[in-house]
Amino acid sequence: MSSKVYANAEEALEGLTDNMTLLVGGFGLCGIPENCIAALVKKGVKNLTCVSNNAGVDDFGLGLLLQTKQIKKMISSYVGENATFESQYLSGDLEVELVPQGTLAERMRAGGAGIAAFFTPTGAGTLVAEGKETREFNGRPYVLEQAITGDFALVKAYKGDKFGNLIFRKTARNFNPMAATAGKITVAEVEELVEVGELDPDQVHTPGVFVQRIFQGTRYEKRIEKLTLKEEHL
């Protein structure tokens, strides 16, 4: 079996070219593949379609790729923290597909499971349902949503082994497990890379069968979007 272990993000992203669709894990700035995003900026690939819960903030996360105008389309749920996103959308430089958060997660999960499409009540009777098939089940309208897959999936885990088994830490788990299953090539960056057999099988969140490439990240800023401190009362 060939090794899945790569030295760094640059090597792990070999073959990622212009016009590809990327699935990117994370929620806000939590659990995002920081090393992969930085490598994409250096790589200079353009006209990317990025599927992610949001687009980070202006100067961090996927916001870095928006700054360099490497993203042509965002498929996401929430975009409220990124002024660059807003300005590019309003100027027509960025195509946007807004998807309800649960629907986005399920579209990726379905893609990874080989399910072509599914019906959901979310969005029925709203703009979300426009142009989509709607059926009634048990007296309630359901909207047909298509699965999402990508050329590459970029995820970040707390710990992984050399076969690609992944463990996520607390809320950093978020969209990462779904994204990991739906990429033709899944690249996982981890804080700690261990030998096969060192992980407790009962604690593995994503089996290594879904991961084609893995590397240990070198630096994680783990920035907080909004820092709120409680006033100390004496």
Structure-token pair, residue 43 = 């790589």
The amino acid at residue 217 is G
Structure-token pair, residue 124 = 């029925």
Q: Which three-class secondary structure state does DSSP give residue 103?
A: helix
Band (pLDDT 50/70/90 cuts) for residue 234 is: low
pLDDT of residue 137: 98
Structure-token pair, residue 28 = 């806000």
Q: Given a cut of 60, is residue 148 above it in pLDDT?
A: yes
Band (pLDDT 50/70/90 cuts) for residue 1 is: low
pLDDT of residue 73: 98
pLDDT of residue 222: 86
Cα angle, residue 219 at apex, residues 199 and 84 outer, rounded to 5°: 115
Mean pLDDT of 141-146: 98
Query: What digits encode the pLDDT tens for the residues 171-207?
Result: 999 999 999 999 999 999 999 999 999 999 999 999 9
Cα atoms found within 13 Å of the Cα of residue 219, Cβ hemisphere only? 4
Question: What are residue 147's DSSP bridge partners?
Answer: none
Query: What digits encode the pLDDT tens for the residues 40-58?
Result: 999 999 999 999 999 999 9
Output the pTM of the full model. 0.94
Euclidean distance between the first and the last CA atom of the chain, given in angstroms as a whole number: 62
Query: What digits encode the pLDDT tens for the residues 96-133?
Result: 999 999 999 999 999 999 999 999 999 999 999 999 99
Q: Is the dihedral of CA 23, 29, 31, 37 positive or negative?
A: positive
Q: Given a cut of 80, is residue 80 above it in pLDDT?
A: no
Q: What is the CA radius of gyration of the chain?
A: 18
pLDDT of residue 81: 78
pLDDT of residue 14: 98
Q: Which three-class secondary structure state does DSSP give residue 162?
A: coil
Average pLDDT value for the chain:
95
pLDDT of residue 233: 62
When the candidates are 3.40.1010.10, 3.40.250.10, 3.40.1080.10, 3.40.720.10, the CATH number that belongs to 9-115+148-216 is: 3.40.1080.10
Q: Given a cut of 80, is residue 78 above it in pLDDT?
A: yes
The separation between CA 186 and the C-alpha centre of its own chain, rounded to angstroms, equals 11
